[in-house]
Structure 1
Amino acid sequence: MESDFYEAALFHIDREKKLYSSMPSRHYHNGYEIFYLVSGDICYFIDDKAYQVVGGVLVIINMNVIHKLVNSSGESFERITLEFKKEFMGGIFPDNQFIDVLSSFAKGLPLINLSGQEQGFIEKRFDKMIHEYTQKPPGYEFYLKMLLFELLLFIYRKMDSIPDPPLSEVNLVHKKIFEIVDYLNRHYDEQHTIQQISQKFYISPSYFCKTFKENTGFTFTEYLNNVRIKEACTLLTHRSDKVAVIAERVGFESLTHFGRIFKEITGMAPLKYRKNYKV
């Protein structure tokens, strides 16, 4: 099957909410790529393996590896794409005497599942990178290198903590789970239980719990909470509704429960989040 080659940028980062990929064909490039799905669910083909990627998952793609993004659900998704060449990292430390953080890309484990607090950490680094890259304040190039190294070091340590044997098959697409994930992304504001979802999609509760965790890296409750909190973050920063209204709108029946889960995932209370990130 034919694949297209693209010359990688020395450094490029952008964040977009979209329906379709701007790179619909199988392609590869001579740079490293870090892809972060902020919200939604998509399918990523990497080296002829299909992976289900859900919101809060980080994807790392090595140089010259063939890949393709497919949004089979047809629903909008928000993503951050970072592309860079090794040369961009030059000059950060004297004599380049530092840990080989780029070795993570060669491990053959493209997907990294993140906890709620890790997602917050990563998203803040991306936000800083986007600000530096687009606004270009004095010293922005050096700061971008430092932020990139901090991100790569985080990935290196995260990858190093993955237990043996390597979980190379985790997140391979399971058709039934993909359907369930798509359903939850569209109906996150409704009340769901494992029993109800199992009955709706004709799958046993025990098998559902097992395969859902294997394919997404999250338990059913963790995933649903992540989807809801992502939407709550958007509402908090783009609307002036009261926190109680937003909590109910994203599917939480208790304001106290919403506040606890929100802080657990983002690291801060809803009102503080609104104050810090209000658009």
Structure 2
Amino acid sequence: METNFYEVQKFDISREKKSQSSMPTRHYHNGYEVFYMVSGDICYFIEDKAYQVVGGSLLLIDINKIHKLVNSSGETFERITLVFKREFLEDLFPNNKTLDLLSTFTRDCHLLRFNGSEQNFIEKLFNKMVSEFTKQPPGYEFYLKTLMFELLIYIYRHQEAMPPAITEEISVVNKKIFEIVDYLNRYYDQRHSIRDIANRFYISPSYFCKTFRDSTGFTFTEYLNNVRIKEARALLINTVFKVAKIAENVGFDNMTHFGRVFKEITGLSPLKYRQTYKIESP
């Protein structure tokens, strides 16, 4: 099986919507990689393990680890890829052994999942990095290092708070869940119930609920709401649609419910979110 080596830059970050990987073969490189899934679902192989990566999930890939992304459904996904070398951050790290932030890449738990408010926080960090790296205003490299340090501390603390790791490899069972996740990402605007999904995919409702949470880190309702609110956030930012129209477009038939779920996930009301984004836009 072909495996390629790539020399990486000291720092590189990109955010793209894709339907296939730009690196279709197994590969490795001499930099640390942070892969964050904004939306969609793919399968990611690191060495001999396979991970199901859904929206709101983050993968940590250590130096020289062989990896490959597989998108068997062919559906569009959006991802943020950050690659960097240790030398980029050398002058920021404390000169002691009590806080090695890069140790997050060598732990057994490569896959991290974030809830709605955590996703909102971490995506803001990534968006600032992408903007700085793309536009390169005065002092951008210093600011990038500051943002990187904040990101790594956040990841480090998130790992520290996690319960003992359970296996994250894809099994025959959760490949069924992988199909369901793909279905929800495409038809999030329709009405769905646990029983309807269970019947459609020939799985018992109770078994579906347990397996879905084990595989994705979310309950069925949490995951569906996260997908819908992520789409709503994009519409609030990129269109002039009224909030009621956006709620309808992403699958909510009740404005009060939409507003409550939106605030639970983002910490802001839909209108406040739109206003805040416009204020923060460069």
| TM-score between the two structures when normalised by the length of structure 1 | 0.95
SS at match of 1:224: helix
Q: CA-to-partner distance for each residue in 1:138-160, whole Å, 9 max, x for gaps?
A: 21111111110110111111111
Q: 2: CA distance between counterparts of 1:76 and 1:192?
A: 21
Q: 1: CA distance between counterparts of 2:89 and 2:98?
A: 11
Equivalent pair of 2:49/2:169 in contact (CA under 8 Å): no
Q: CA-to-partner distance for each residue in 1:177-234, whole Å, 9 max, x for gaps?
A: 0111111111100111111111111101111011101111111000000110111111
Aligned to 1:170: 168
SS at match of 2:248: helix
Q: How far is 1:96 from its partner?
A: 6.5
Q: How far is 1:31 from its partner?
A: 0.6
Aligned to 2:85: 85
Q: In structure 2, what residue type is equivalent to 1:195?
A: R
Q: State how 1:98-177 maps to structure 2 within 5 Å.
A: 99-164=99-164, 166-167=165-166, 169-170=167-168, 172=170, 174-177=174-177
Q: In structure 1, what residue type is equivalent to 2:143?
A: Y
Say whether 1:45 aligns with 2:61: no
Q: How far is 1:95 from its partner?
A: 4.4
| TM-score between the two structures when normalised by the length of structure 2 | 0.94
Q: In structure 1, what residue type is equivalent to 2:79?
A: R
Point out the more displaced range, 197-206 or 88-97: 88-97
- Consecutive unaligned residues of structure 1, counting only runs of 5 or more, are none
Q: 2: CA distance between counterparts of 1:95 and 1:201?
A: 54
Q: How far is 1:276 from its partner?
A: 2.6
> 4+ residue stretches of structure 1 with deviation over 6 A?
none
Q: 2: CA distance between counterparts of 1:97 and 1:170?
A: 29
Q: 1: CA distance between counterparts of 2:168 and 2:50?
A: 11
SS at match of 1:44: strand
SS at match of 1:43: strand
- Consecutive unaligned residues of structure 2, counting only runs of 5 or more, are none
Equivalent pair of 1:31/1:62 in contact (CA under 8 Å): yes
Aligned to 1:207: 207
Q: Percent identity?
A: 65
SS at match of 2:244: helix
Q: State how 1:12-31 maps to structure 2 within 5 Å.
A: 12-31=12-31
SS at match of 2:203: coil
SS at match of 2:192: coil
Q: How far is 1:277 from its partner?
A: 2.5
Equivalent pair of 2:13/2:129 in contact (CA under 8 Å): yes
SS at match of 1:24: coil
Q: How far is 1:134 from its partner?
A: 1.2
Q: CA-to-partner distance for each residue in 1:82-137, whole Å, 9 max, x for gaps?
A: 00000101112574677200001001211101011110110010011111111112
Q: 1: CA distance between counterparts of 2:7 and 2:98?
A: 27
Aligned to 2:71: 71
Count of paired positions: 277
Q: 1: CA distance between counterparts of 2:7 and 2:25?
A: 15
Q: 2: CA distance between counterparts of 1:88 and 1:96?
A: 18
**In structure 2, do the counterparts of structure 1 residues 171 and 123 end up closer, same or farther at CA, with 3 Å as the change threshold?**
farther
Q: How far is 1:270 from its partner?
A: 0.8
